[in-house]
Amino acid sequence: MEELKKFIEEWKDSGAKTKDSFIIFKDLLESKGDVELELNARPGISYSLRGKKKGQSRPLFVLLDVIDDDPSERWLSVCFYGDTINDPDEQGDFVPGGLLGEDGHCFDLDEGTEETTLYIKKRIEEAYDQAK
């Protein structure tokens, strides 16, 4: 994915470490041998990285949105179908009909702390395991 590589190389992180978190999530998805990644680039709006398990009936199991309304202050919104993850610490937001017309659960990340990154990474693993 040359476009994704170029996007990451050109991303100047503000110090909030959201770029670092994005790379951790992307690397996790790439480590799964049966995950297909698709980037939908809309500069000035968002860069959406969709993770889909091969053979899965839904169009994705995770959506990594890099919100690009201010490229010097990019933040992440990591979304899942509501029925594929748990949120034991209630860090995310329920979004009725907000993920491709289905109920979603999103985690906004404007600062890539180790704790929050690990929490979301666990949600990605959970959604991956649930993907059918």
Q: Determine the pLDDT at residue 29.
A: 98
Q: Determine the pLDDT at residue 13.
A: 84
Q: Which of 76, 75, 79, 74 is nearest to 93 (CA)?
A: 79
Q: Determine the pLDDT at residue 132.
A: 87
Q: Determine the pLDDT at residue 1.
A: 78
Q: Which range of residues forms the domain containing residue 9? A: 2-130
CA distance 73 to 83: 31
- Residue 130 sits at φ, ψ, to 5 deg, of -85, -15
Q: Write out the two tokens for 90.
A: 């209630």
> Residue 114: which CATH number?
3.90.1150
Helix, strand, coil content of the chain in percent (nearest 5) = 35, 35, 35
Predicted confidence pLDDT, tens digits, the chain (132 residues)? 799 999 999 999 888 999 999 999 999 999 999 999 999 999 999 999 999 999 999 999 999 999 999 999 999 999 999 999 999 999 999 999 999 999 999 999 999 999 999 999 999 999 999 998
Q: Determine the pLDDT at residue 104.
A: 96
CB of 46 closer than 8 Å to CB of 65: yes
**What is the total count of domains within the chain?**
1
Per the confidence metrics, is the pTM higher than 0.85? yes
